[in-house]
Amino acid sequence: AQSVTQPDIHITVSEGASLELRCNYSYGATPYLFWYVQSPGQGLQLLLKYFSGDTLVQGIKGFEAEFKRSQSSFNLRKPSVHWSDAAEYFCAVGRYNNNDMRFGAGTRLTVKP
């Protein structure tokens, strides 16, 4: 079965600093990869997704992620974090025509002024 690991439970960064959230997956073929963000009191919202093609994908709110097949990773990055980015971030892995979507445990981001 596929699985998703987000090694960092909680990350704190200063406003304006760069951010990288890690995501590693276990799956035999090229999966569909997603990053979702959950702001306090809200549901999950899609930040970006990767299905195929260019391994660097751009998302909303200035986020990007890079798919590295050799490392089974799909890390999320942002060059300059804003206070409004404080939220919980979930990496997810899916397979075509299959219900087996897996979510990571999430990484909570705190932004210091």
Partner 1 sequence: EAQVTQNPRYLITVTGKKLTVTCSQNMNHEYMSWYRQDPGLGLRQIYYSMNVEVTDKGDVPEGYKVSRKEKRNFPLILESPSPNQTSLYFCASSPQLSGANVLTFGAGSRLTVL
Binding site for partner 1 (CB under 8 A): 4, 6, 9, 31-32, 34, 36, 41-46, 49, 51, 90, 93-101, 103-106
Least Å from the CB of residue 78 to partner 1: 20
Return the number of the residue (58 or 80) whose C-beta is nearest partner 1: 58
Least Å from the CB of residue 28 to partner 1: 13
Return the number of the residue (10 or 112) whose C-beta is nearest partner 1: 10
User: With b meaning 16 or more CB within 10 Å and e meaning fewer, what string describes 82-110?
Assistant: eeebbbbbbbbbbbeeeeeebebebbebe
Least Å from the CB of residue 80 to partner 1: 26
Instruction: Return d(Cα 34, Cα 31) in angstroms, integer.
Output: 10
Q: What is the dihedral of CA 14, 59, 105, 84, to 10 degrees?
A: 40
Return the number of the residue (14 or 98) whose C-beta is nearest partner 1: 98
3-state secondary structure 18-56: CEEECCEEECCCCCEEEEEEECCCCCEEEEEEECCCCCE
Return the number of the residue (5 or 15) whose C-beta is nearest partner 1: 5
Least Å from the CB of residue 83 to partner 1: 22
